[in-house]
Homo-oligomer: A and B are copies of this chain.
Amino acid sequence: MVADVDAATPHTATGGGAPAETLGRSERKHRAILEAAQGMFLAGGYLGTNMDELAAASRVSKQTVYKHFGSKEALFVELVTSMTDAAGDRVHVDLADPTEADEVPSFLEAYADRQLDIVMTPTLLQLRRLVIGEVTRFPELAEALYEHGPKRAITTLAAMFERFDELGLLRVDDPTAAATEFNWLVMGEPVNRAMLLGDAAIPTAAERAAQVRGAVRVFLAAYGAR
């Protein structure tokens, strides 16, 4: 037994700013709880999750759970909020704008494909289902998910389309309307299918590509420069 590097012997010094493996006990428990909470809340919903099992799954005493999070509600809110934030960040990425009009179709296809690929993740879809099912109980969480999800995507797209219009790559009068249309042209069917039909309805890479080609084709028929 030589390599115990991973989870033991934390020494005294923390690596500086590195958020590496060396974490205090408390921090580790905190994360273990959140991790178990993610699995359980996503699988069972808010009311369907019980704190005894959650503590057991976290390999932590119930006492510790309550020391860290205060209540079931607070734990739920913190979990969903952190997942929402993380998901929102994962979507955003910088791509160089195209320079020629004939690069626009493939650019939009790549962009949409990426977007779709990220959104159609089992965990994210389940988060969306969970939050939708709890809109009445936790409206703030649903609103946050809307802001970090669709709204952010549309805002980003709108800015992009406005630039493309100025570059003469597209003809877009109302960038927000165009962005909204593009967004749901791409995501409407896959997302809504998956909401109701479960993860079995998640498109394969090939299906995604076909979906995206169709969407971009329609979009460009309305907003293409030529």
For the residues of A in contact with B, the DSSP-based class is: helix
Asked if A136 meets B43 with Cβ closer than 8 Å, knowing A142-B198, A143-B197, A184-B184, the reply is yes
CA distance A131 to B132 in the complex (A): 10
Number of copies: 2
CA distance A140 to B129 in the complex (A): 16
Tell me the smallest distance from the CB of A81 to a CB of chain B, in Å: 14
B136, B187, B198: the one contacting A188 at CB < 8 Å is B187
Whether, in the assembled complex, A89 has its beta carbon less than 8 Å from a beta carbon of chain B, the answer is no
Chain B residues whose C-beta falls within 8 Å of the C-beta of A131 in the assembled complex: 196
Asked if A191 meets B189 with Cβ closer than 8 Å, knowing A133-B129, A214-B181, the reply is no
Interface segment out of the listed A12-20, A28-36, A216-224? A216-224
CA distance A218 to B172 in the complex (A): 12
Chain B residues whose C-beta falls within 8 Å of the C-beta of A187 in the assembled complex: 184, 188
Chain B residues whose C-beta falls within 8 Å of the C-beta of A209 in the assembled complex: none
Residues of chain A whose beta carbon lies under 8 Å from any beta carbon of chain B: 43-45, 47-48, 129-137, 139, 142-143, 145-146, 149-150, 177, 180-181, 183-185, 187-189, 191-193, 195-198, 214-215, 217-219, 221-223
